[in-house]
Structure 1
């Protein structure tokens, strides 16, 4: 997937590029720290998707979003921001963004989010702990970790979860390892029992495999 990335902080740009290149399924065809350069980059490189910071000098992300959707309607746009304001999320999605990603997102979750956005799935705020269930938040679990626990409670295997969430099996195992550590358990059966007790899965399907 061909991607243009734009953020006014070089550290964020470098992190985005590294996360996408490490995944192996993306080619970063352009990057910039200013809003005014985004449109020319999109015109020159013809990307499939643009990852766009909301706050940028010279031309902010929402203005860039309007310009991209007006001139290049087939290009998907994912907004990136440190803000969790619901008004800002709603505004970005209403104006044509395919996803709104909080900068606190786990870098390993970013490629899957971009794939979902490119596939036409409109996503709300991704990467904010506020959307997790209270018990999950207290346990320190991320939205993605809760999502994987929910998939486990439906009886899905690691391979099935990977396909459903558009991630690799290795990524699923990575998240499960973190879940086990945070919940103080040793395997998925114990994790599901604990998640059920804490109230963020509806049914504990006691699987015996790890």
Structure 2
């Protein structure tokens, strides 16, 4: 059972997300928080597999909460929810170690998918969020795309296949099933991929895959 602590200052949003997650028999929402400070306290108390938090909250905003949770509960993956507008915090949340990003008004099916991916150590980027994250990052998009493609060229064909699926939000187990590989082999591939790309984590690697067009190519297969 994947245990989740859910945080958002809007009760209606919490109720909706809880309903979606609770429909999955493998996921349990063990606690809810209305602000960032309460989120940190609940994560310390419950030690959940995943914390799903709004990026903008009172008391302690999502960004500060992510940083504190990475120190206080490194075993808990943190997924960020955003309503958008123009959210300048997304790139910073990535740098703080967020395991993925979800759009509150996006496809509800993405929420259990993202929770499962994060619980298994994978990254999850909603396609619409990934597009926005790239837009928020500094620098010319064409230049960044060219740089991403150059980094991708350092990978073997098989490593590119693994990265494309990781960028699409698949867990190691799902990638293994798709490519007929043992899960341990996928973990080894991901370790090598992160090293060759110079990426700090799977989310950063997923963004490189997205910027290069590799994830789009995978989706068309």
Q: TM-score range by the shorter chain?
A: 0.5 to 0.7
Deviation at 1:88, TM superposition (A): 2.7
Tell me if the contact between 1:98 and 1:121 (Cα under 8 Å) persists in the aligned partners. yes
1:43 has 2:44 as partner: yes
Say which is worse superposed, 74-83 or 105-114, in terms of deviation. 105-114
Aligned partners of 2:6 and 2:51 also within 8 Å:
yes
- After superposition, the Cα gap between the structure-2 partners of 1:88 and 1:51, relative to the gap in structure 1 and judged at 3 Å, is same
Confirm or deny that 1:14 pairs with 2:15.
Answer: yes
Residue of structure 2 equivalent to 1:103:
104
TM-score, normalization: structure 2? Answer: 0.57
Query: 1:105 touches 1:127 (CA, 8 Å); kept in 2?
Result: no
Map 1:129-148 onto structure 2 (within 5 A): 131=131
Q: Is the 8 A contact 2:102 2:129 kept in 1?
A: no
Residue by residue over 1:127-176, the C-alpha shift from the partner in whole angstroms, topping out at 9 and shown as x without a partner, is 628849xxxxxxxxxxxxxxxxxx9xxxxxxxx99x75xxxxxxxxxxxx
Aligned to 2:91: 90
Q: Who is 1:174 aligned against?
A: none
Tell me if structure 2 keeps the 8 A contact 1:76–1:118.
yes
| SS in structure 2 of the partner of residue 3 of structure 1 | strand
Shift >3 Å, 4+ stretches:
84-87, 129-132, 200-205
- Gaps spanning 5+ residues in structure 2: where? 133-164, 166-173, 179-215
The count of aligned residue pairs is 143
**TM-score, L = length of structure 1:** 0.59
Shift of 1:109: 2.0
Deviation at 1:25, TM superposition (A): 1.2
Q: Is 2:3–2:49's contact at 8 Å kept on the other side of the alignment?
A: yes
User: In structure 1, the residue corresponding to 2:90 is in which secondary structure?
Assistant: helix
Q: Structure 2 matches for 1:158-169, cutoff 5 A?
A: none
User: What stretches of structure 1 of length at least 5 have no aligned partner?
Assistant: 133-150, 152-159, 165-199, 206-210
Change over 3 Å in CA distance of 1:11–1:120 after alignment to 2 = same
1:34 aligned partner: 35
Which of structures 1 and 2 has the bigger CA Rg?
Answer: 1
Deviation per residue, 1:57-114 (Å, 9 max, x gap): 1110011101100111111000111126575322111101000111122112210111
Report the 3-state secondary structure (helix = DSSP H, G, I; strand = E; otherwise coil) of the residue aligned with 2:89.
helix
Is this contact kept in 2: 1:51–1:77, CA < 8 A? Answer: yes
- The superposition leaves residues 14-69 of structure 1 with CA deviations (integer Å, 9 ceiling, x where unpaired) of 01110111111111110011111111111111101100111111110011101100
2:37 & 2:220 partners in 1: Cα distance? 51
8 A contact 1:104–1:127 mirrored in 2 = no
Moved more, 55-64 or 104-113: 104-113
